[in-house]
Amino acid sequence: MGKTGGFEVSLQRLEAIVAELERAELPLDQSLTLFEEGMLLVEDCRKQLDAAEGKVEMLVKRAGALLPEAFSPAGEPPEE
C-alpha cells in the first residue's frame, strides 16, 4: 500500500531531524528550516495514522469477480 513505506520514511526523517536539532551546531536559519520540515512530518504521520476507516469487509464472489462487502464475524452485531 505504498503509503506505509511513506510512514516509515516520514518517521525516520522526523527522528533524524530531532537528533540533528538537538546536536545544536547548525546556523539558526537552517535550524528553522529543519524545524518547519519536522512539524510538517508530524502532521503527515498523524494524518497517516487516521487515514484508514476501520472497515471490516469480506471478499464475496459476484458475477465471477471478488468484491468486498461489509462483514461482521458471528457473535458480533453487524456494523450499520
Is residue 70 within the footprint of another protein (CB under 8 A)?
Answer: no
Q: Examine residue 48 and tell whether it contacts another protein (CB under 8 A).
A: yes
Q: Report how far residue 60's alpha carbon sits from residue 51's, in angstroms, rounded to the nearest whole number.
A: 25
Question: Which residue, chain included where needed, has cell 476507516?
Answer: 53
The single-letter code of the amino acid at 53 is E
Q: Is 33 in the site for another protein (CB under 8 A)?
A: no
Amino acid found at 32: L
Which DSSP state fits 76?
A: S
Q: By CB under 8 A, name the binding residues for another protein.
A: 1-5, 7-8, 11, 14-15, 17-18, 21-22, 24-28, 31-32, 35, 38-39, 42, 45-46, 48-59, 66, 68, 71, 73-76
